[in-house]
Amino acid sequence: MSLSSKITLGLLLGTALGLFLGELARPFEMIGQIYIGLMQMTIVPYIVVSLIGNIGRLSHQDLHLLTGSGLLMYALILIASGASTLVFAESFQDLPASGFFSANMVESPPKIDWYALFIPANPFKAMADNHVPAVVIFCLLFGFSMMGLKENESLLDQMALIAKNLHRVNSLVVRLTPIGVMAIAAHTAGTMSLEEFERLQGFYLVFGVYSVIMAFFVLPLLVTSLTTYTYQNVMTAAKTACLTVFATGSILSVIPLMITGLNGLFEPKADNQKHKPFAEFILPLAYPFPNCGNIGALLFIPFAAWFMGEPLDLHEEGLLLGLGFFLLFGKIFVAIPFLLNYFQLPEDLFELFLTGGVFAGRVGDVVGAMHYIVFTILATAAMKKELAIQWSRLSLHLIGIALLLMVSSFGLQSVLGHLEEQTASEQKVMTRNSTIDPQHLLARLVSKGPNPMALAPGESRLERIQRLGVLRAGILLDNLPYSYINQRGDMVGFDVDLLTRLAKDLHVSLELVPYERLSLHEQMASDDFDIAASGLSIALEHTNQIILTEPYFIANFSLVVRDHLRRNFEQEISIANMRGLRLGVLVDGFIGDSAQEYFPNATIIPLDSPREFFENPPSPMDALAIQAESGASWTLLYPSYSVVNPFTHPIRLPISIAVAGDDSILADTLNTWISLEKMNGHLERLTDYWVSGKDQTAQKHRWSLLRNVLHVTF
Range from 8-22, 102-116, 393-407 that averages highest in pLDDT: 393-407
Confidence check: pLDDT of 275 > 50: no
pLDDT of residue 422: 44
Q: What is the Cα–Cα distance from 396 to 419, expressed in whole angstroms?
A: 34
Using DSSP, state whether 454 is helix, strand or coil: coil
Specify the range with the lowest mean pLDDT, choosing from 148-157, 195-204, 515-524, 662-671. 195-204
pLDDT of residue 697: 53
Confidence check: pLDDT of 92 > 70: yes
pLDDT of residue 533: 93
Q: For the segment 644-660, what is each residue's pLDDT rounded down to a tens digit?
A: 888 878 888 899 999 98
Q: Which residue segments constitute the domains of the chain, with CATH numbers given?
A: 3-93+108-267+276-411 (1.10.3860.10), 428-551+655-691 (3.40.190.10), 555-653 (3.40.190.10)
The sign of the CA dihedral 15, 21, 23, 25 is negative
Amino acid at site 492: V
Specify the range with the lowest mean pLDDT, choosing from 174-188, 420-434, 562-576, 690-704. 420-434
Q: What is the Cα–Cα distance from 98 to 344, expressed in whole angstroms?
A: 16
Q: Where are the alpha helices (DSSP H) in 121-230?
A: 123-128, 132-146, 152-174, 177-191, 194-213, 219-226
What Å distances lie between residue 656 and 498, 516, 534, 556, 604, CA to CA? 12, 17, 9, 14, 25
What average pLDDT does this structure show over 216-236?
Answer: 91
Q: What is the Cα–Cα distance from 666 to 672, expressed in whole angstroms?
A: 10
pLDDT of residue 270: 34
Query: What global pTM score does this model have?
Result: 0.64
Cis check: omega of the bond before 45, within 30 degrees of 0:
no
Do 298 and 290 touch, CB atoms closer than 8 A?
A: no
Q: What is the DSSP letter of 387?
A: -
Neighbour-count burial for 82-92, b at 16+ CB within 10 Å, e otherwise: bebbbbbbbbb
The CA angle 427-101-502, to the nearest 5 degrees, is 85
Other CB atoms within 10 Å distance of the CB of residue 567: 16
pLDDT of residue 465: 92
Long-range (24+ apart) CB contacts under 8 A made by 157-162 are: 159/49, 159/52, 159/53, 159/56, 160/49, 160/53, 162/45, 162/49
Q: What is the Cα–Cα distance from 482 to 232, expressed in whole angstroms?
A: 68
pLDDT of residue 423: 40
**End-to-end Cα separation, the chain, in angstroms:** 37
Specify the range with the lowest mean pLDDT, choosing from 101-115, 122-136, 330-344, 511-525. 101-115
Confidence check: pLDDT of 276 > 50: no
Do 356 and 204 touch, CB atoms closer than 8 A?
A: yes
Do 150 and 51 touch, CB atoms closer than 8 A?
A: no
What average pLDDT does this structure show over 181-197?
Answer: 75
pLDDT of residue 623: 92
The sign of the CA dihedral 350, 354, 356, 361 is positive
Q: For the segment 482-510, what is each residue's pLDDT rounded down to a tens digit?
A: 999 888 888 889 999 999 999 999 999 99
Range from 18-27, 256-265, 468-477, 684-693 that averages highest in pLDDT: 468-477
Confidence check: pLDDT of 302 > 70: yes
If one compares 397 and 115, the residue with the highest pLDDT of the two is: 397
Q: For the segment 28-78, what is each residue's pLDDT rounded down to a tens digit?
A: 888 888 877 787 787 778 778 877 887 787 777 767 766 777 788 889 999
Confidence check: pLDDT of 439 > 60: no
Specify the range with the lowest mean pLDDT, choosing from 419-433, 483-497, 589-603. 419-433
What average pLDDT does this structure show over 347-357?
Answer: 69
Mean pLDDT score across all residues of the chain = 81
DSSP secondary structure of 391-406: HHHHHHHHHHHHHHHH
If one compares 256 and 599, the residue with the highest pLDDT of the two is: 599
Other CB atoms within 10 Å distance of the CB of residue 273: 9
The sign of the CA dihedral 695, 696, 697, 701 is positive
pLDDT of residue 679: 93
What average pLDDT does this structure show over 305-318?
Answer: 80
pLDDT-derived band at 433, boundaries 50, 70, 90: low
Give the rounded percent of residues in the chain with a pLDDT score beyond 70.
Answer: 83
Nearest CA-CA partner of 405 in 395, 417, 397: 397
If one compares 684 and 59, the residue with the highest pLDDT of the two is: 684
What Å distances lie between residue 540 and 493, 656, 670, CA to CA? 26, 13, 20
What average pLDDT does this structure show over 237-244?
Answer: 82
What SS3 string covers 240-270?
A: HHHHHHHHHCCCHHHHHHHHHHHHHHCCCCC
Q: What is the Cα–Cα distance from 16 to 189, expressed in whole angstroms?
A: 8
Q: Say if residue 711 is exposed, middle or buried (CB neighbours under 10 Å; 0-12, 13-18, 19+).
A: exposed
Neighbour-count burial for 447-458, b at 16+ CB within 10 Å, e otherwise: eeeebeeeeeee
Nearest CA-CA partner of 196 in 414, 87, 356: 356
